[in-house]
C-alpha cells in the first residue's frame, strides 16, 4: 500500500524549474531514502510536498488522495511531518514551546495523546527534557536537530520526512540520531529520508532513489544502490 | 517649586507615553509578523475617537447615568468595532498583496489611510468635534501650598491604569496562550509554522485585530480626557507612536511600551522646561540619536519577545 506517491511532479521557483517529472512512491511502513548532489533538488522535493513551492505539474497523493493543491497548514493534520533542512526550530521559544508547536495540528480532544507522545519524545531525547525551559536558539547543533525531530514527532505523523538530519553533526550524534530513526521506524512510522550521508542512509533504507538535476536517475533497494558502481563513485567517495 | 513642576511633567509625560505605547504595539506587532509598517494604523485610533463619541451619545440617549459603566461599555463597543476595522484593513488591503513586491503593501497602506480619513471627513464633517466631559476632578498630590501641588486628574489616572492593564493582558496572551505561541512562531519562521499546521493568514489577522484593539483603547481614553478630535488626529498620533515603536526597537513588544513612555516623558519635560513649540523636533531628534547609537532601538534585540 502506497502512503505517499508523486506522479510526474514539476516544481521550482518562479522561472527556475527544479523538479522535472519526478515520480516516486513510499509504501506504508517503509524507509525510503533519496540521495543526490548539492542542488539536485532534494529539499525542493520535500518542500513541494507541502506546497512550498507549489507543484506546477503532476500530482502528489497521500493515502491515494490528491493533496497537490492543499493549503500548507492543512497537511500536518493529514499525517505528514517534516524535519526541514537547517532544522528551523523557533529560536526565541523554549524547547518545551517548540515541542508544543509540533502538536498544533492535533485536535484539542487528543490532548492526553499529546502528553503521551511528549513523554515518548523526551524518553528518546532526554537532553530535551533537561533543557525544557531553555531558549532553543541556544542549543547546540545536535540538540537542535533532536529538537526538530522531536517536534516533528509531536503530531504523530504516519510519514516522517527528514531533510539531511545528519548534516554538520559529529559521528557520535549521527549514530544516536540514526538509532532513534530506526526505533521510530520499528514502531510503524514510515520514513522518507533525504541524505548526503548516502552510506548511512542506504544501509538504513529499504529502498532508495537517486536524484540528479531534478530528475530521478536511479531507484532500487538499499543494498543494490550501495553496490552500484555509479552510486559508489558519485555519492560514496569512490570506495 | 521646581520639584513640583518636575513631578507634574513626569505625570503628564507618563500619561502621554501610555497613549503612545498603546498605539505603538500595533505598529510593532504587525511589523514583527509581516515585516511591514501599517501606515493605516493611526486612522484606527482616529476612528476609535469618533466611535467613542457616537457610543457615548447613544448611551446618554438611553439614559445611562453612571460614568464608570458608560466608560466600560464605550470601551467594549469601540474595541469590538475597531477590531473589525483592523481585520477588514488586513483582509482588503494587505492579504491580497502577501506575495507581492514589498513596496505594494506600503502603497496600499497609505491608500487605506487616505480612504479612512476621507470617509470619516465626509460622513462626520471636517470640523473639530467634541464630547462633554464625563470624567471630572482629580487629585492634588504632594500639596504644600495653594499653588504647590501635582495635579493628577481622574482621566489621567484612568489612562495610565487602563494602559497598564491592557499591556499586561496583551503580554499574557502572547506569552502564555496557545494562540499567542502561534503568533510568535509565525513571527520567527512563517513557513515553518505553516508546515506544522498553523493557519498563518488567521494568525496575521489576529495580530491586526489585537493592534487595532490596543489603538482603540488609546482612542477612547484620549477622547474621554481631551474631549475634542477631528478626522486628522490619526496622522500625528500615528507618527508619534511609530516613532515610539522604532525608538523601543521595532518588532519588540516591551520595546514599544518602553519607547512610548520614553517619548512621552521626553516630550513632556522638553515642553515643561524648554519650549513647547519644538517638542516634536526634540522627539524626533531623540529618535535619531538613539538610532545612531543603537540602530536596533532600545530593546531591539532579536531575542526579546517579539510579535
Ligand atoms: N528559494 C529559492 N529560490 C530560487 N531558487 C532556489 C530556491 N531554493 C533553492 N533554489 C534552487 O533550486 C535548486 C535545488 O535546490 P535544493 O535546495 O532543492 O537542492 P538540494 O538537493 O536540497 O541541495 P543540498 O544538498 O545542497 O541541500 C538549486 O539550484 C537552488 O539554487
Ligand atoms: Mg537541501
| Burial (0-12, 13-18, 19+ Cβ within 10 Å), B163 | buried
**A157/B294: higher pLDDT:** A157
Using CB distances shorter than 6 Å, the residues near ligand 1 are A 13, 16, 18, 36, 38-44, 85, 196
Enter the C-alpha cell of residue B243. Answer: 516613532
Q: State the fold for domain A1-79+157-239.
A: Rossmann fold (3.40.50)
Task: Give the mean pLDDT of B239-255.
Answer: 92
Per residue in A100-156, pLDDT (tens digit) is: 999 999 998 888 999 999 999 999 999 999 999 999 999 999 999 999 999 999 999
> The pTM is what?
0.92
**SS3 at position A199:** helix
Cross-chain Cβ contact B192/A84 below 8 Å: yes
**A9/B292: higher pLDDT:** A9
Atom 18, ligand 1: residue with shortest CA distance: A41
> Closest Cα partner for B191 from A50, A105, A61?
A50
Residue A82 has pLDDT above 60, yes or no: yes
**Which pLDDT score is estimated for B272?**
86
Separation of alpha carbons B151 and B228, rounded Å: 21
Does residue A196 contact residue A164 with C-beta atoms inside 8 Å?
A: yes
> B236-268 burial, b for 16+ CB within 10 Å, e for fewer?
ebbebbbbbbbbbbbbbbbbbbbbbbbbbbbbb
Does residue B15 contact residue B160 with C-beta atoms inside 8 Å?
A: yes
**Which pLDDT score is estimated for B133?**
85
Residue B306 has pLDDT above 70, yes or no: no
Q: Sign of dihedral through CA atoms A84, A87, A89, A94? A: positive
Per residue in B105-164, pLDDT (tens digit) is: 889 999 999 999 999 999 998 899 989 888 888 888 887 777 778 889 999 999 999 999
- Which residue of B197, B204, B249 is the best one to mutate when testing the A interface, meaning the one whose CB has the most A CBs within 10 A? B197
**Which pLDDT score is estimated for B43?**
96
Separation of alpha carbons B183 and B190, rounded Å: 9
| pLDDT band at residue B304 using 50, 70 and 90 as cut-offs | very low
Domain boundaries, given as residue ranges, for chain A: 1-79+157-239, 89-156
| Three-state secondary structure of chain B | CHHHHHHHHHHHHHHHHHHHHHHHHHHHHHHHHHCCCCCCHHHHHHHHHHHHHHHHHHHHHCCCCCHHHHHHHHHHHHHHHHHHHHHHHHHHHHHHHCCCCCHHHHHHHHHHHHHHHHHHHHHHCCCCEECCCCCCCEEEECCCCCCCCEEEEHHHHHHHHHHHHHHHHHHHHHHHCHHHHHHHHHHHCHHHHHHCCCCHHHHHHHHHHHHHHHHHHHHHHHHHHHCEECCCHHHHHHHHHHHHHHHHCCCEHHHHHHHHHHHHHHHHHHHHHCCCCCHHHHHHHHHHHHHHHCCCCCCCCCCCCEC
| Ligand 1 atom with minimal separation from the A45 CA | 18
Least reliable range by pLDDT among A42-46, A73-77, B88-92, B272-276: B272-276
Q: What is the mean pLDDT of chain B?
A: 91
**Which pLDDT score is estimated for A238?**
57
Domain boundaries, given as residue ranges, for chain B: 30-234
| pLDDT band at residue A58 using 50, 70 and 90 as cut-offs | very high
Q: For residue B236, what are the CA distances in angstroms to A138, A189, B40, B45, B241?
A: 41, 58, 12, 11, 8
ipTM of the complex: 0.94
Separation of alpha carbons A232 and A84, rounded Å: 26
A positions 129-188 inside 8 Å of B (CB): 135, 137, 151, 155
**Which pLDDT score is estimated for B71?**
93
Task: Give the mean pLDDT of A58-84.
Answer: 96
Enter the C-alpha cell of residue B87. Answer: 481585520
Per residue in B48-84, pLDDT (tens digit) is: 999 999 999 999 999 888 888 999 999 999 999 999 9
- Find the A195 Cα to ligand 2 centroid distance in Å: 9
**Which pLDDT score is estimated for B305?**
46
A93 in B contact zone (CB under 8 Å) = yes
Residues of B in contact with A78 (CB under 8 A): none
DSSP letter (8 states) at residue A138: G
Amino acid at each position: 500500500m502506497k502512503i505517499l506517491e508523486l506522479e510526474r511532479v514539476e516544481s521550482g521557483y518562479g522561472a527556475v524549474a527544479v523538479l522535472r517529472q519526478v515520480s516516486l512512491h513510499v509504501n506504508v511502513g517503509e524507509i525510503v531514502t533519496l540521495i543526490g548532489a548539492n542542488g539536485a533538488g532534494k529539499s525542493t522535493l520535500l518542500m513541494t510536498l507541502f506546497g512550498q513551492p507549489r507543484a506546477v505539474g503532476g500530482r502528489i497523493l497521500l493515502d491515494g488522495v490528491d493533496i497537490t493543491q492543499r493549503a500548507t497548514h492543512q497537511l500536518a493534520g493529514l499525517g505528514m511531518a517534516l524535519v526541514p533542512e537547517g532544522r528551523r526550530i523557533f529560536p526565541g521559544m523554549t524547547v518545551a514551546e517548540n515541542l508544543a508547536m509540533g502538536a498544533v495540528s492535533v485536535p484539542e480532544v487528543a490532548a492526553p495523546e499529546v502528553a503521551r507522545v511528549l513523554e515518548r519524545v523526551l524518553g528518546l531525547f532526554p537532553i530535551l527534557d533537561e533543557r525544557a525551559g531553555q531558549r532553543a536558539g541556544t542549543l547546540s547543533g545536535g540538540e537542535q536537530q533532536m529538537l526538530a525531530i522531536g517536534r516533528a514527532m509531536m503530531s504523530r505523523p504516519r510519514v516522517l520526512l527528514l531533510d539531511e538530519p545528519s548534516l554538520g553533526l559529529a559521528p557520535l550524534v549521527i549514530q544516536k540520531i540514526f538509532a532513534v530513526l530506526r526505533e521510530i521506524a520499528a514502531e510503524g512510522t514510515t520514513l522518507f529520508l533525504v541524505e548526503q550521508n548516502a552510506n548511512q542512509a542506504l544501509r538504513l533504507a529499504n529502498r532508495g532513489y537517486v536524484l540528479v538535476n531534478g530528475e530521478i536517475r536511479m531507484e532500487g533497494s538499499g543494498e543494490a544502490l550501495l553496490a552500484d558502481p555509479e552510486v559508489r563513485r558519485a555519492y560514496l567517495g569512490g570506495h | 517649586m521646581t520639584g513640583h513642576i518636575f513631578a507634574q511633567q513626569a505625570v503628564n509625560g507618563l500619561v502621554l507615553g501610555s497613549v503612545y505605547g498603546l498605539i505603538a504595539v500595533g505598529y510593532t506587532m504587525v511589523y514583527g509578523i509581516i515585516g511591514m509598517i501599517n501606515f493605516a494604523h493611526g486612522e484606527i485610533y482616529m476612528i476609535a475617537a469618533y466611535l467613542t463619541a457616537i457610543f457615548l451619545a447613544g448611551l446618554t440617549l438611553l439614559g445611562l447615568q453612571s460614568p464608570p459603566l458608560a466608560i466600560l461599555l464605550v470601551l467594549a463597543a469601540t474595541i469590538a468595532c475597531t477590531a473589525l476595522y483592523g481585520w477588514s484593513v488586513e483582509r482588503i488591503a494587505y492579504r491580497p498583496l502577501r506575495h507581492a513586491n514589498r513596496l505594494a503593501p506600503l502603497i496600499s497602506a497609505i491608500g487605506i489611510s487616505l480612504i479612512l480619513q476621507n470617509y470619516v471627513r465626509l460622513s462626520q464633517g471636517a470640523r473639530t468635534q467634541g464630547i462633554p466631559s464625563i470624567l471630572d476632578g482629580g487629585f492634588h498630590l504632594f500639596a504644600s501650598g495653594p499653588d504647590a501641588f501635582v495635579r493628577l486628574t481622574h482621566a489621567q489616572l484612568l489612562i495610565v491604569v487602563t494602559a497598564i492593564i491592557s499591556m499586561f493582558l496583551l503580554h499574557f496572551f502572547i506569552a502564555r496562550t496557545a494562540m499567542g505561541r502561534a503568533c510568535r512562531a509565525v513571527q520567527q519562521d512563517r513557513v515553518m509554522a505553516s508546515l506544522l499546521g498553523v493557519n498563518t493568514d488567521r494568525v496575521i489577522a489576529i495580530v491586526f485585530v489585537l493592534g487595532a484593539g490596543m489603538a482603540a483603547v488609546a482612542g477612547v481614553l484620549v477622547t474621554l480626557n481631551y474631549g475634542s478630535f477631528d478626522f486628522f488626529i490619526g496622522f500625528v498620533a500615528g507618527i508619534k507612536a511609530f516613532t515610539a515603536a522604532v525608538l523601543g526597537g521595532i518588532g519588540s513588544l516591551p520595546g514599544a511600551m518602553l519607547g512610548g513612555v520614553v517619548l512621552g516623558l521626553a516630550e513632556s519635560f522638553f515642553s515643561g522646561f524648554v519650549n513647547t513649540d519644538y517638542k516634536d523636533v526634540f522627539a524626533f531628534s531623540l529618535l535619531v540619536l538613539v538610532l545612531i547609537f543603537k540602530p536596533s532601538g532600545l530593546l531591539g534585540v532579536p531575542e526579546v519577545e517579539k510579535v
